[in-house]
Amino acid sequence: MSMTNARAYLRSRAKAIGLTEWKDGFDSSNIPDTILDKSFWIDMGDITSGVKRDQYDQEIQFPLSIKIYKKGYKSPADGIDDSVLLVENLIKEACDPDKALTQGNGIVNVSFDTSRIEPLSSSNNNSVVSSVTFNFLIILNV
């Protein structure tokens, strides 16, 4: 069991709804226009809590955030509406217990935390970025 399983799980759920990953490890600001529409980028948050279950297992809770990029081709309002739908579909896909808890990879729970939809930049309000944060609870074998 590994924390990378949570990233792999979230990546697979995003791809299941038709998104394409931007794989730059730390910088989400340089996504090229050629893949900006319906792309995503995963950010691992701080690991702030851990509980030792026994001498072999550590229970760890941490957030994973995903940014979803969408172009509003017709209008910014269409981009926002499309983004709301993508966020909703990702929440349903990632939090489905039949998908999350049957992995056999240490994931004990996935829950939706927060979401924010905003323009990509102040100079480009026709493209939208949605930030969605999930909380993962995993069992890490030590």
| Burial (0-12, 13-18, 19+ Cβ within 10 Å), 128 | buried
Whole-number pLDDT of residue 59: 82
Instruction: Identify the band that residue 105 occupies on the pLDDT scale cut at 50, 70 and 90.
Output: confident
| CATH 2.20.130.10 applies to domain 4-141 | no
* Lowest mean pLDDT across 29-33, 44-48, 115-119: 29-33
pLDDT higher than 80, residue 30: no
Instruction: Identify the band that residue 140 occupies on the pLDDT scale cut at 50, 70 and 90.
Output: confident
Give whole-number Cα distances, 26 to 30, 31, 81, 112, in Å: 10, 12, 28, 22
DSSP string, 27-56: --TT--GGG-TTEEEEEE----EEEE-SSS
More confident residue, 20 or 30: 20
* Tens digits of residue pLDDT in 10-25: 999 999 999 999 877 6
In terms of Cα–Cα distance, which of 79, 62, 64, 71 is closest to 14? 64
DSSP string, 62-77: EEEEEEEEEE-SS-HH
* Tens digits of residue pLDDT in 39-63: 999 988 777 666 666 666 778 888 9
